[in-house]
Structure formats: C-alpha cells, structure tokens
Amino acid sequence: MREPLDVVWSRPLPEGAQPSTVTVSQDAAGRWFVSLLCDDAVTPAPATTAVGIDAGITSLVTLSTGEKITNPRHERRDRARLAKAQREVSRKEKGSANRARARLKAAKVYARITDRRRDHLHKLTTRLVRENQTVVIEDLTVRNMVKNGRLARAISDAAWRDMRTMLEYKCAWYGRELVIVDRWFPSSKLCGACGTIRTKLPLNVREWTCECGVVHDRDVNAAKNILAAGLAVSACGDGVRPQRESSRTGRSSMKQEPQRATAGLPRL
Ligand SMILES: [Zn+2]
C-alpha cells in the first residue's frame, strides 16, 4: 500500500529541520508512533531563580513558591474507567479472545491517561526550566506511598519518572542546573523555619504546626526544604549525598523521550 498515512502531529517540525533519525514503534494499545530526531538550536533566556519541586499524588507536584500543580483534567474519571477495564480483563478466561479484547481496551484507557499526563508534564517542565536557573527535585527511585492505592501510585510514579527525564534533558538544552537531592532527606518532616525534625508525619496530615509556632502546608514545606537542600548542595558540592546532574549548554535536539505510553502498565 502506498497511501499517505493518517498522522497526528504532536507538534510542528522546526522550519527547515532535516530529521536525522526516524524511529517507528507500536504500543500495547496498538498505536503506531513515528519520532523524528532533528537538530535545533535553543537560545536559553537568562534566569536567576531557583525552584524546588515536591512530587505528590493529590497534587501532581507542589512548588517551593507555594504553587500547586494539579493532575490533568478527567484523570480521576479515566482512572475509574481503567480500574473497571482491568476488572473486566481479570474476569475473562485466560488465553481467550475475549480476554485479549478486554486487555486491548484497558491498554487504550491507560494510553489515554499517560498521553494526557505526558502532554501536561511537557508544558510544566518546559515552563519550569525556562523560568528557573536551578531546579531541585528529590530522588524518588524508591518511595513509600502505599496508602494511595496501587493504580494511582503506579500512574503517579510513572509520571514522576517521565518528569525527571524531561527535566534532565530540558535543563541540558537550556543550560540550567538540575540538582537531585537524596531520597532519605526528610523533606516533609523538617520544619523549614526552625529546623526541627518531626518523628512522625502520617500521609493524611496535610497541614501541621511546628513547636516553633509556624503552620506548614505539608507539600509546600517539603518543596521549600527540597529547594534549600538543593541550593546547599549546589553551593558547596555536597551535603545530602546527592546525585548531581550537571547540565550542558549548546546544541540540542528535538528528540522526545521514547513513546512509552504503556511501559509502566499496571498488572492487567
Ligand atoms: Zn519549626
């Protein structure tokens, strides 16, 4: 067949761009992706500010500025649909055509969630990197947020991994510094005002008052502490056993991270 393909472009190619690499892939929902790698010079705008980012589940992320970024619209509803579709899969007989059909349907719902999430994350990370010279995040390779349910957690963990990857390459493009502070750093339990560390802070406690009298929004306090830790690391080179990501300036590519819409697909 030599018919033109019905393509949905995620964004226009830069003017005059000559793709050097073309990658074709297919996801579990049966969709085909073509990604084009092009060289494109990025001119970083000067920025002097720094931002700390706390990853959450109720909010997608909270910034040290106090801003809370919510999840994409419709995500809650789509999650409910996904849970239902996954139950359908488990009800069908193993190896049957019905099960394969149910599985594909669940994969499609999941792909929609991750697509929306990724689009949302692209806009957010581009904005954060454009606006700030230093971006500080926590290393959440392993974390313990069991109370929020397996599905919500799988999706938010996948989103966080995607966000970190985007921040890594976008910081490199724009000549920004990405500082990653150690995951054992007590970002939530540390009072940003007086330095006292609480022994306990259950996940359902969203706001707390320190002995020193300061009232904290849990996530904003965490984001501020992450920022402070990152700046300390950035200034003296160590402090909280960070993995420091140095950033590079210069030529960049338009490469998007590989389409992994279903890479983190929860058990079907
Ligand atoms: Zn305090």
At residue 47 the predicted structure's pLDDT band, cuts being 50, 70 and 90, is confident
Annotated active-site residue 138? The verdict is yes
Which has the closest alpha carbon to 52: 164, 128, 141, 135? 135
What ranges do the domains of the chain cover? 51-174, 182-268
pTM as predicted? 0.73
pLDDT in tens, 113-160: 888 888 999 999 999 999 999 999 988 765 554 445 566 677 777 788
For the cut 90, the answer to whether the pLDDT of residue 164 exceeds it is yes
Please give the mean pLDDT across all residues of the chain: 80
On the 0-12 / 13-18 / 19+ scale of CB atoms within 10 A, 81 is: middle
* CA of 236 relative to ligand 1 center, distance in Å: 25
Give pLDDT, residue 143: 54
For the cut 60, the answer to whether the pLDDT of residue 177 exceeds it is yes
Annotated active-site residue 139? The verdict is no
For the cut 90, the answer to whether the pLDDT of residue 167 exceeds it is yes
pLDDT in tens, 80-97: 999 999 999 999 999 999
At residue 261 the predicted structure's pLDDT band, cuts being 50, 70 and 90, is very low
* CA of 211 relative to ligand 1 center, distance in Å: 6
pLDDT in tens, 204-251: 889 999 999 999 999 999 999 999 999 988 877 654 443 444 443 333
Residue pair 34/7 in contact (Cβ under 8 Å)? The answer is: yes
Dihedral angle sign, alpha carbons of residues 76, 77, 83, 86: negative
Q: Which of 75, 78, 138, 162 is catalytic?
A: 138
For the cut 50, the answer to whether the pLDDT of residue 265 exceeds it is no
Q: Which of 54, 75, 78, 168 is catalytic?
A: 54
* CA of 158 relative to ligand 1 center, distance in Å: 33
Annotated active-site residue 54? The verdict is yes
* CA of 67 relative to ligand 1 center, distance in Å: 21
Neighbours of ion ligand 1 (CB under 5 A): 191, 193-194, 196, 210, 212
pLDDT in tens, 19-43: 888 888 888 888 888 888 877 666 6
Burial code of 42-67, b = ≥16 C-beta within 10 A, e = fewer?
beeeebeebbbbbbbbebbbbbbeee
Residue 172, token pair as written in the block: 């490199």
Q: Which of 78, 162, 168, 219 is catalytic?
A: 219
Query: Distance between CA 214 and CA 193 in Å, rounded?
Result: 7
Residue 132, token pair as written in the block: 């700030």
- Give the position of tokens 């919500």: 152
* CA of 130 relative to ligand 1 center, distance in Å: 33
Give pLDDT, residue 157: 74
